Amino acid sequence: MLGQDGLLTLALFYLSISPCARTLTVLALRPSTVAQRPPLRSQQVEPEHGWGLPVRALQIHLCILYFLTGLGHLNGEWITGRILTIPRELDLASLMAEPTGATPLWAAALAVGLLLFEFYYPIFIWLGRWRYLVLVLAVAVHLGVGIVWDALPFNLLMLTLNLVWLRNEHGEALLHGLAAMLGFNWEPAPTRRR
């Protein structure tokens, strides 16, 4: 339904209306040095105003996007599992079809599972106790679909947009962990006093 360019435009729109310059700038990403400075997080930082509306709008937009994608997939190819064809260059087509040419039951179950994920994502993501399970399923779905159907950039962008559901402390821990794996020290830029 929404191509990679449209999804990137959506992400840039929400990034442009959100006050995230203090955390998500190039200045906040500094190469690690031998003598590490203490992170600036030790100071008490006041939350920026205006962050709630863009986040909530993106969350609602993602729910609508998943639901409409599920509606677009309601056809015979998805319900029967024929959509899960493996590209010919992998030469695994013999695993997808039974000798009679019928689609195996596991392929149909996987396709229906993907449909159910798209339909129930907008419901269970709002429930606090189910949110992280839905996010783990989203990681599995988007990485699997991205690798098998050779659409990894689009699916990685969808995973990046799904970070909007993380709590602040979990999001910061994830950013710190990813930056440390890449050899950077992620520190918020100092706030300006007025």
Q: What is the mean pLDDT of residues 50-59?
A: 82
Report which of residues 28 and 74 the model is more confident about.
74
The pLDDT of residue 85 is 59
How many CB atoms neighbour CB 42 within 10 A? 7
Report residue 86 as tokens: 């493996």
Selection from 13-27, 36-50, 127-141 with the highest mean pLDDT: 127-141
| Cβ-Cβ contacts under 8 Å for 54 (sequence gap 6 or more) | 14, 17, 18
The DSSP-derived string for 108-124 is HHHHHHHHHHHHHHHHH
Asked if 92 contacts 85 with a C-beta cutoff of 8 angstroms, the reply is no
Predicted confidence (pLDDT) per residue in 84-119, tens digit: 755 444 445 555 544 455 667 777 888 889 999 999
| CA dist., res. 126 & res. 98, Å (int) | 40
Is the pLDDT at 82 greater than 60, yes or no?
Answer: yes
Query: What number of CA atoms fall less than 13 Å from residue 66's CA on the CB side?
Result: 27
Report residue 90 as tokens: 């992998």
Is the pLDDT at 37 greater than 60, yes or no?
Answer: no
The C-alpha angle with vertex 190 and arms to 189 and 194, in degrees rounded to 5, equals 135
The length of the chain in residues reads 194
Q: CA nearest 20: which of 184, 188, 159?
A: 188
